[in-house]
Structure 1
Amino acid sequence: MIEKIADYLKQKKLLNRLKLQDDFTVTFLAQGEYNQNFLISDGQRKYVFRLNYGSQLQLTNQISYEYQALEWLEKSQRTPKVYYVDDQRQDFSQGLLIMAFLEGEPLDYRKDLLTAADIFSDIHQLAIDTTAEKYFVTEKENILAARIEECQVLLNPVFKSSVITERAKHLLATALEENKKNVHQQDFFDQQKLWSVNNTEVNSHNFIIGEKGYLIDWEKPVISHPVQDISQFLASTTTLWRSNLKLTLTEKQEFLTRYLMRTSFDPAAFFKALQIYHPYLMLRALSWSAMAYDNYLTGDKALKNQEIFEKVSQYLEPEFLAKALREDVLKDE
């Protein structure tokens, strides 16, 4: 793959376009569930070469969606600058894009919470214009129903699975029915009309913290209430994902205070939105984990990550699952 990428850059005459020297290198960078990333460098300039293997939004042209999102988000100065996209799948079986490589480290919850609040506030305050309305999937009218629909799709193979315990199936099915009963709370979001572009995948390793802080991995952004990102950021399933820790109530309060101060969003209304939305977020996170667990053991995935498999296995332990589905993000455990 490394040789293929190097040849592709030369054949497409991208060295001049990217101002790369002839002695550039290509090295493996990172792999997730749906993407592989490679580092292109000539010692002076660095880029990420990203190959896409699937769409969580069930899009027919996933890589172009991500490219357009990054173009629109560039004005926030909190996302990677994007330079090139190829969605033809002629040279590679996957769609691909090239974006800036950002220097820094993953977010450290213990010292970078205020920086995260600043990143979110700069992104969430971008006004939704006609271009955004055209580009992005929107959940303006169905933020809660969208989670229910998503969870039903995720849980369909789970409820039929031979490797998921009956206890886990029961807990997930019960939570799904409870959330269905409360979908009428969508009215609250309709009245607020507080919409922004949300990343929807805000674990610590999707942040780059250096001289400045950035949010990366924009494969499934949507127009939604900003509580979607904030709820996920604070959730135990997110903080445990790559950092294996839970935020204290004090840490959550400090983060929210900074975020609400910078955005000027009404605190009382935002806290209510957080209370309403969080059960849907937790159900979605745990439904995805159950789906992934089943798929790892019974499916034929193009990309596999042992660390992810171990984490979703932990999330399906009955005690953890039951507690997580009842999580109140604004209270200490």
Structure 2
Amino acid sequence: MHLQKNIETFDKEPDLLERILERAYREALHLPMEVTEEYEFLARGEYNENFVFTHPESGKRYVLRVNHGSQMHLKKQISYEAHALSLLEKSGRVPKVYYVEEKGDKGILLMDFLEGRALRYETDLSVAGQILADIHCTKYEREKDWGELRLLSPENPLYAMLSESASLLRSYELSPFKEDSVYERCHALWEKVVNLEEKYAKTLSSKDFCIINTELNSGNFLIQDEEKNFEEKSETDISSHLIDWEKPLYAHFAQDLGHFLAPTTSFWKTDCILYEKDRDLFFHAYKEALAGRRNFSGIEEKTELFILFNCIRGLSWCAYAYAEYQKGRDIQNEDTFRKIKEYLTDPFLSSVEELFRESRT
């Protein structure tokens, strides 16, 4: 029965039936040489597919992650991701990696299956602050990490985000599907962050660098409802996690915080926009969890700066993606396309423009 089930699960990728038979794969989890475990589809992204299975002897569940490409244009995307997870394992906030292999155009990774639900902004901001603090406090000596999987580190994080946004907007500008008013409004915001980069780039110290996720959508958090308040939590009482480490960097802590709190992030899956009281709640939990471990400077001010940069990056990506969808993208998702159009029209676009007007930076 298990063989037929696996054939059905991997019907679009039959070569995976051979990959799970390989001795190194079986030995990594002490699996019997004969495949008796059944794989089930778990989730799919633009560059990855995830399958879940139960160990036939221990009863523990694991995830088989299959990579199909790289947003970061890396030759060994899944190995880079696995390296970041291994570096962060001691944080207790990410899945443990057991096996990684690059072969042909597919890389595979074996890791723990973690229980939990997606983050709710209304109730989980304090837990998110604790998770990110634990990750940002994880020690990483990049100067000693000289392998080919060494984490990428932009010398100027603001300029890197600015350049990426420029490339995305340029693609939209040259597209036959460009709408003039949308381009003009997005480009006006881009020009504002150009001025901010010139003003603030030199104020960002590499002393405030740490391993960051860069993709802090609510669905990438796995929250356990029994998670205790920080004051009540022991060192071993860690049950909520952050998954999906496709694009980790060694960069400024506020880039992560800015992405998490930006309306272009929170509105994507939940239609939620975070206001000052929400940000204050998050900052309190984050700083409480940092205490005695890291002494980041100007947390609120620098996060506000990165919120603006994340907004223009998000809008630029939506403009680019809108054109891609219009010309017939390989992977089409109607919910994603609907959201993209929502970002590029009012009232959402006006709300981002208002955020720039109200900014104290």
Give the alignment's TM-score, normalised by structure 2. 0.83
Identity of aligned residues (%): 33
Structure 2: any 5+ residue segments left out of the alignment? 1-8, 227-238
Partner of 1:95: 107
Partner of 2:49: 36
Stretch moving more, 49-58 or 128-137: 128-137
Partner of 1:258: 285
Partner of 2:21: 10
What residue identity is the alignment partner of 1:230? L
Name the SS for the 1:323 alignment partner. helix
Shift in alpha-carbon separation, 1:254–1:294, aligned structure 2, 3 A: same
What residue identity is the alignment partner of 2:65? R
- Structure 2 Cα separation of the partners of residues 133 and 7 of structure 1: 33
Q: Is 1:123 aligned to 2:135, yes or no?
A: yes
- Structure 2 Cα separation of the partners of residues 66 and 173 of structure 1: 33
What residue identity is the alignment partner of 1:276? L
Partner of 1:306: 334
Runs of 4 or more above 3 Å deviation: 19-22, 130-134, 264-268, 328-331
* C-alpha displacement of 1:133: 7.0
Asked if the contact 2:262/2:308 (under 8 Å) is kept, the reply is: no
Give the alignment's TM-score, normalised by structure 1. 0.89
1:198-223 deviations in whole A, cap 9, x for unaligned? Answer: 10000110011126110000000111
- Structure 2 Cα separation of the partners of residues 60 and 7 of structure 1: 22
Asked if the contact 1:234/1:329 (under 8 Å) is kept, the reply is: no
* C-alpha displacement of 1:268: 7.0
* C-alpha displacement of 1:259: 0.3
Asked if the contact 1:33/1:304 (under 8 Å) is kept, the reply is: no
Query: Aligned to 1:164, which of 178, 195, 212?
Result: 178
Shift in alpha-carbon separation, 1:197–1:168, aligned structure 2, 3 A: same
Q: Is 1:280 aligned to 2:293, yes or no?
A: no
Query: Aligned to 2:343, which of 312, 315, 324?
Result: 315
Q: Is 1:23 aligned to 2:51, yes or no?
A: no
- Structure 1 Cα separation of the partners of residues 146 and 132 of structure 2: 20
Q: Is 1:291 aligned to 2:299, yes or no?
A: no
Asked if the contact 2:208/2:252 (under 8 Å) is kept, the reply is: yes
* C-alpha displacement of 1:242: 1.4
* C-alpha displacement of 1:132: 5.1
- Structure 1 Cα separation of the partners of residues 75 and 350 of structure 2: 36
Partner of 1:80: 95
Asked if the contact 2:120/2:218 (under 8 Å) is kept, the reply is: yes
Name the SS for the 2:63 alignment partner. strand
Partner of 1:196: 210
Asked if the contact 1:71/1:82 (under 8 Å) is kept, the reply is: yes
1:172-193 deviations in whole A, cap 9, x for unaligned? Answer: 1112222122222111103x72
Structure 1: any 5+ residue segments left out of the alignment? none
- Structure 2 Cα separation of the partners of residues 181 and 260 of structure 1: 29
Shift in alpha-carbon separation, 1:278–1:247, aligned structure 2, 3 A: closer
Q: Is 1:217 aligned to 2:244, yes or no?
A: yes
Name the SS for the 2:73 alignment partner. coil
Shift in alpha-carbon separation, 1:105–1:204, aligned structure 2, 3 A: same
Shift in alpha-carbon separation, 1:12–1:2, aligned structure 2, 3 A: farther
Asked if the contact 1:107/1:205 (under 8 Å) is kept, the reply is: yes
1:14-62 deviations in whole A, cap 9, x for unaligned? Answer: 3343234643111111112221111122461222121222222222221
- Structure 2 Cα separation of the partners of residues 80 and 234 of structure 1: 24
Asked if the contact 1:36/1:51 (under 8 Å) is kept, the reply is: yes
* C-alpha displacement of 1:232: 1.0
Partner of 1:231: 258
Asked if the contact 1:171/1:322 (under 8 Å) is kept, the reply is: no
Name the SS for the 2:208 alignment partner. coil
The number of residues matched between the two structures is 325
- Structure 2 Cα separation of the partners of residues 330 and 113 of structure 1: 23
Asked if the contact 1:278/1:329 (under 8 Å) is kept, the reply is: no
Shift in alpha-carbon separation, 1:95–1:17, aligned structure 2, 3 A: closer
Asked if the contact 1:282/1:325 (under 8 Å) is kept, the reply is: no
Name the SS for the 1:95 alignment partner. strand
Asked if the contact 1:84/1:98 (under 8 Å) is kept, the reply is: yes
* C-alpha displacement of 1:153: 1.7
Name the SS for the 1:145 alignment partner. helix
- Over the aligned positions, Cα root-mean-square deviation in angstroms equals 2.4
1:252-292 deviations in whole A, cap 9, x for unaligned? Answer: 21111110122146687112212322211111111112212
* C-alpha displacement of 1:293: 1.8
Asked if the contact 1:47/1:101 (under 8 Å) is kept, the reply is: yes
Shift in alpha-carbon separation, 1:267–1:328, aligned structure 2, 3 A: farther
Query: Aligned to 1:54, which of 69, 81, 84?
Result: 69
Shift in alpha-carbon separation, 1:279–1:154, aligned structure 2, 3 A: same
